[in-house]
Amino acid sequence: MFSDRRAAGEQLAVALAEVAKPDPLILAVPRGGVPVAFPVWRRLGGDLDIIQPRKIGSPFNPELAIGAVAPDGTELRDAALIARLGVGEDYLRREAARQAAEAARRLRFYRGDRPPPRVGGRHVILVDDGVATGITDLLALRLLRRDGPASLTLAVPVGPAESIARLRAVADEVLCLEEPPAFQAVGEYYAAFPPVSDDEVIRLLKAAWEDPGSLPGNPP
């Protein structure tokens, strides 16, 4: 159990400090991954940025991910789950287009005119606040892999063993602090798990990008 996202990030940072390569590129999945990634960046240094895949939710339960999509429209589907639920192609196309547009909008909103980070040749650490089905993080890993990182690590506080195993097939390394045998939902493993606001995402990114007082090694 983690007290909140920041505390989870601090625990991840300690664990990553033992294995991380120098000058990493730390990429958070907004919104929840940003307050987890910030303490990681403070501990490890390097650069902090974001990657913005979006979940494609089931028409019967929007919180259940049946796929994921990137701002450029790159899509990943959970074919077995889609077939089991009987989700139609028309819905999938519409929802993928809607979520891709929203992902692109959010990326512009969070990053402004800042150019995207260079992934090729970097030691990349992807950070999220937890894994459920894992399909959103799986898409993020595949997108990053095609850009040729020197190494690719996924770091999350919690996730079910089945999903973590699937992610290990794509990442060079996966660090997951807790793999509960009876996993329910990510929020069940946090004492406080409030929604992360856009303002908080922007504040933390701005601190990493612009504020010398937030450089690694300085007190929060």
What is the model's pTM? 0.93
Domains of the chain, start order = 5-210 (3.40.50.2020)
User: HSE-up of 6 (CA within 13 Å, CB side)?
Assistant: 7
Residues 6+ apart with CB under 8 A from 21: 123, 150, 151
pLDDT value of residue 217: 46
pLDDT at 218 over 70: no
pLDDT at 5 over 50: yes
pLDDT at 18 over 60: yes
How high is the mean pLDDT of the chain?
A: 95
158-216 pLDDT per residue, tens: 999 999 999 999 999 999 999 999 998 999 999 999 999 999 999 999 999 986 454 54
pLDDT at 220 over 90: no
| CA pseudo-torsion sign 56, 147, 151, 24 | negative
Tokens 């190494």, residue located: 151
pLDDT value of residue 20: 86
Distance CA 208, CA 49 (A): 9
120-167 pLDDT per residue, tens: 999 999 999 999 999 999 999 999 999 999 999 999 999 999 999 999
